[in-house]
Amino acid sequence: MSVIAPNFKLSGFIKSLLDNIFWILLIFVLVGLPAVFMILFLVELPVIDGEILTPFLALSYLVNPTRTLPVLHAFLTTDIFRVMAFPGFGFAALLAASVIFIERKMMAKLQLRVGPFYCGKVEGILQLMGDGLKLISKEIIIPAKADKPIFWAAPVLFVATAAAFVALIPVAPGWVVADIDLGLLGVFAVIGFFPIITILSAWSANSKYPFIGGIRALFQMVSFEIPLILSLLGVVMLTGTLNLSEITESQANFPWIIFLPIGAIVFFITMLAELERIPFDLPEAESEIVAGWLTELSGMLYGLVQLGSYLKLYAFAALFVVLFLGGWNGPMIVPAFPEQIITEGIEMGPITLTVDGLGPLVHETITQEMLNGTLWFVLKTAGVIFFIILPRGVFPRVRVDLLLDLGWTKLIGLCFINIFIALGLLYAGVLGPGGLQ
């Protein structure tokens, strides 16, 4: 059996390579440079050698590595960076993408399968990129009798709501997109939009399977939101605040899960129901109603919903960490910055970065506490996500009557027990003024 070698021509390869370089440069000039200038005009640029840095000089500084640090520092302190990169959408999307890949490999191991393997040399690590490109390139099919404006808007609103949820989560000391005094109430307000968006998406498809899935999602979320809220009242009573950053700071000595384990268990169970994860995946039950309220979604509309779902999973896991596991609190394992750099600065080429140059970068932007807090936050969140994923491989789907009975009776009863425990700890003086806290 003869194998015909492909017709490879060096000239054709060089031509394709030059074509790619041309289009990359063209896109960078037409899109990249204007975007950089727009960001530089919005960033509050530093003062170097007694002169305010302009966007045009900053662009030339970016070419010179010795002068990049002040511009980088100025960008790290902007709201744009917090919203788009860390600790906002970019950071959450990166963790969400990692969770998608890890879940697929983990389910494969639990079910004695291989999972993603061929796309990428290391355990199919490029499979996620391949799936993303596939969803982007696929045609979006709209049902003929669908309510098209709502059908188009629902996935976008789902991702936006998940991003708003992420914006309320503090990742490290001082690193949160929206640090509001009523942060926990803001979380409840954002969570309340998910069932509305779900039922709108299901109704707009004008199809039986999405509508059945939407109705299931509606009564499931409504029946579990009440114990979800009640399970957190114990934490609010012990801390006396609704600010998520202050709740995290109150756990500097011990996490609240030690004193309120019942509230943590109830919150975890209701969290699974809110995320529509097994064993509470009735709204998407593939073996019963195809894909539930996601049945008619295709292409990138389906991709947006999946992105929003995993952003929501990260946000719930992070909220559990903030409320019950101490958030960013943990032993200091990140080494401190060299004292000479902090006090004397460091000379880099034509400029010297002293306390006025490098100091703010060390003290305000990238501190030892920030790095250590982020590390502990990510490790704890990854642990919670693992236990959220695990039931998918070991539990069956519950019946709808058992689901409603669990939400409306048993979990609400446990919530009141948790509240009584919190009141007992307060009135006994174990916690609160004069107590351990």
Residue from 423, 396, 422, 419 nearest 227 by CA: 419
- Tell me the angle at which helices 89-110 and 148-167 cross, rounded to the nearest 10 degrees: 100
Task: Look at strands 47-48 and 51-52 and give their pairing.
Answer: antiparallel
**DSSP state for residue 65 in the 8-state scheme:** G
Rounded distance between C-alpha atoms, residue 85 and residue 79, angstroms: 10
pLDDT tens digit sequence for 166-207: 989 999 888 888 888 888 888 988 988 888 888 888 888 888
Establish whether the linkage from the previous residue to 87 is cis, with ω within 30° of 0. Answer: yes
- Note the pLDDT of residue 358: 42
- Note the pLDDT of residue 216: 81
Residue from 390, 374, 376 nearest 325 by CA: 376
Whole-structure pTM over 0.85, yes or no? no
- Note the pLDDT of residue 297: 80
Rounded distance between C-alpha atoms, residue 385 and residue 100, angstroms: 11
**DSSP state for residue 352 in the 8-state scheme:** E
Mean pLDDT of successive 10-residue segments in the chain (437 residues)? 56 80 84 74 64 64 62 71 81 87 84 78 78 79 82 88 90 85 88 86 83 81 86 88 89 88 92 85 75 79 86 92 89 66 45 41 60 89 91 80 82 90 84 58
26: amino acid identity, one letter:
L
Rounded (5°) CA angle 359-364-369: 110
Where is 155: in which H helix or E strand?
Answer: helix 148-167
Q: Contact 354/361 with Cβ under 8 angstroms?
A: no
Pull the structure tokens for residue 262: 């019942």
Pull the structure tokens for residue 84: 């788009």
364: amino acid identity, one letter:
E
Phi, psi torsion values for 109, nearest 5 degrees? -65, -40
Rg (CA), the chain: 25
Rounded distance between C-alpha atoms, residue 171 and residue 329, angstroms: 10
Rounded distance between C-alpha atoms, residue 198 and residue 216, angstroms: 10
pLDDT tens digit sequence for 368-384: 788 888 889 999 999 99
- Ranges of each domain in the chain: 89-93+136-336+355-427
Q: Contact 403/218 with Cβ under 8 angstroms?
A: no
Residue from 303, 286, 189, 179 nearest 241 by CA: 179
Rounded distance between C-alpha atoms, residue 385 and residue 392, angstroms: 12
**DSSP state for residue 406 in the 8-state scheme:** I
- Note the pLDDT of residue 267: 93
**DSSP state for residue 346 in the 8-state scheme:** E
- Note the pLDDT of residue 356: 40
